[in-house]
Structures are given as structure tokens and as C-alpha cells.
Amino acid sequence: MKINIDSKYKKMVKVMLIVFPILSIATAFFSLPLEASLPIAVLVTIIPLILDRFVFSYKVLHVMPMPTEDMLVHRLGTSWVAHDTETMDGLGIVVIFKYKHVAKDAYNMLKAWNYGKVIDCSENISFKAVREQDDMYSAFLYAGDRIKSIKASEALAKEKHGEKSKIAMSIAKFYMQFSFDYSDNELKKKCIESLPYVDELNLNVGYVENSEIKMYSKRGFRLKNFSLTNRSDVAQGTIESLNEWVDPNGQLAPINQAVVDSVNRVLESNT
């Protein structure tokens, strides 16, 4: 039988199992006859066997690659793209930041989520859209399960604390939440509603230069793990289940909203 004990009590348990028998032996030799003290002395020899019955549990926090502070401050919004808006061939979404160096940070974070690759065959990047009500949608971008990195963290923990130790893994991951109101934009609504019908979603990162959106890299990420779900069907315990739709109006700082308005004016003049 194994006894599970939190690792914070490890030193105390070892001290008790060593000190108490020693004190008992010392007391026995002074107060008991030899034939009574010998069995107590045997107890010392079985202390390692007793210790072997204890399994110590260690809490390990596994942190997925996280964003920079600039990414939190200078995210402007998103833009849908497609090679063909009729068939939605090449459907993708671009996360837009104010500055190129911030877009670089975001791109590198996404690349780290996918172990340095752009094709996400192992579903290391998740894009989950939620159909709210009245043409409103929420979307969430976050790291997938990334089993490979979790197993590596567990192996390192066992190497440090012993193969027989029990590792209780907690995972911290960053997510981006987007809120859309497409009540007056049929094309954008068509883009998000096409998610269930495409085999691959392109994800890229952009920045603003001279009121125009520039892609940070020509090589975007090709996602396999994406979906569109009704709010009532969202699985409990997921990131999307814990966050409700947030009105996007007024969420940006005025100086960043001015940049977005400038970009939108340029886009409108080109269409």
C-alpha cells in the first residue's frame, strides 16, 4: 500500500521516522532490559522500507509561451481574408497590432506554441468561435494542449523529485478574446460562418503602417483546430465557456481607436 503525502510535509515525515525511533532506542537501552531493547533496535533497519511506502506529491505549474506587455496594450483588432470570397478558399484571420515590433512578438509567440512550425498538424493552436445572438460572435485564440511540452515538464519534475513522486500538473495559458458584431456586415458574417466548411484556417499577424495593414510574415500559420459553436453548445470548463461576449465598442484607447478609424477609411476608399 502506498501513502500519498503532499511534498511540503516530506522533511517533517522523514525527521519523524528517523528521530522518533532513535529516541525510542535511546530510552529503551537506558530503561529496558537487553531482550526488550533489541526489537526496538531492529526498527531502525526498516525505516528505509517505511519511507519507500510514502509517495510525495509535487505541484508543478506549466506555463505556455506568454505575450509581451506591448501585445496587450497595442492590439487593435482583426481582419478576415480569403483568396475567393465566393468559395471562401484560403479563409484566414489576421490579428492586427499597432507596431511592427509588437506583431513580431505575437508571431514569435504563436510560433513557439507550435514548436517553431507554421503548419499546425498537432493542433497546438486553437481558434474557437462562438455564435452568440443577433449576429454577434465571440472568438478565442489560445494554445492547444501541447502534450509534448507537458510531458517534458513532467519528466523534468520526476528527474528532480524522483521517479516514484506524484506530479500534479497545473497549466497556465494565455488567450486572446475577440468580440464581433456583424449585424451590418454580411461579408464578415459569411467568413465566420464558413468555419465549419473549410479544412484549414490561415492565421497571420499584421501591423499598421501609413494607415494600411501589413503582414508581418508571408508565412502564416495553417490551423487544423478551429470551430464555430452555438453558445448553448459550448463545452463546460473550456476557455470559451468561461468568457461571455463583450461589446467591442469603446474597448480601445482613443489613440488606438484613431489608428483603427484611419485604417478603415483607407479600406473603404479602396473598395
Question: pLDDT tens, 27-59?
Answer: 555 555 655 555 655 555 555 555 556 566 777
Q: Are residues 121 and 7 in the same domain?
A: no
Strands (E) across the chain are located at 3-6, 54-63, 75-81, 92-97, 125-131, 136-143, 166-172, 175-181, 201-209, 212-215, 221-223, 225-230
Q: Does 13 map to a domain?
A: yes
Interatomic CA distance for residues 73 and 71, integer angstroms: 6
Beta bridge pairs of residue 215: 206
Q: Are residues 71 and 45 in the same domain?
A: no
Interatomic CA distance for residues 39 and 54, integer angstroms: 23
Q: Are residues 132 and 230 in the same domain?
A: yes
Q: Are residues 101 and 191 in the same domain?
A: yes
pLDDT for 52: 56
Of 232, 208, 34, give the one whose Cα is nearest residue 132: 232
- Going by the DSSP 8-state scheme, the letter that residue 196 receives in this structure is G
Q: Does 17 map to a domain?
A: yes
> Which residues make Cβ contacts (< 8 Å) with residue 81, sequence separation at least 6?
90, 91, 92, 93, 94, 202, 204
Q: Does 168 map to a domain?
A: no
Of 177, 249, 207, 179, give the one whose Cα is nearest residue 94: 207
Q: Does 8 map to a domain?
A: yes
pLDDT band at 148 (very low <50, low <70, confident <90, very high): confident
Contact 260, 76 (CB under 8 A): yes
pLDDT for 172: 83
Whole-number mean pLDDT of the chain? 83
Q: Are residues 133 and 200 in the same domain?
A: yes
Q: Are residues 187 and 226 in the same domain?
A: yes
Q: Above 60 in pLDDT, residue 200?
A: yes
Q: Are residues 47 and 109 in the same domain?
A: no
Q: Does 156 map to a domain?
A: no
Q: Are residues 17 and 124 in the same domain?
A: no
Residue scoring higher pLDDT (204 or 251): 204
Strongest mean pLDDT among 34-38, 77-81, 252-256: 77-81
Q: Above 70 in pLDDT, residue 218?
A: yes
Residue scoring higher pLDDT (54 or 98): 98
Overall number of domains in the chain: 2
Q: Does 154 map to a domain?
A: no
All cell numbers assigned to 104: 513580431
Q: Are residues 45 and 138 in the same domain?
A: no
> Which residues make Cβ contacts (< 8 Å) with residue 213, sequence separation at least 6?
79, 94, 96, 206, 207, 263
Specify the pairing of strand 125-131 against strand 136-143.
Answer: antiparallel
| Mean pLDDT in residue range 110-119 | 94
Q: Does 163 map to a domain?
A: no
Q: Are residues 47 and 70 in the same domain?
A: no
Residue scoring higher pLDDT (256 or 31): 256
pLDDT band at 163 (very low <50, low <70, confident <90, very high): confident
Q: Residue with C-alpha cell 492590439?
A: 75
Interatomic CA distance for residues 117 and 249, integer angstroms: 35
Q: Does 220 map to a domain?
A: yes
pLDDT for 28: 52
The domain of 264 spans: 65-145+175-269
Q: Are residues 126 and 180 in the same domain?
A: yes
Residue scoring higher pLDDT (68 or 24): 68
All cell numbers assigned to 185: 456586415
pLDDT band at 203 (very low <50, low <70, confident <90, very high): very high
Q: Are residues 9 and 132 in the same domain?
A: no
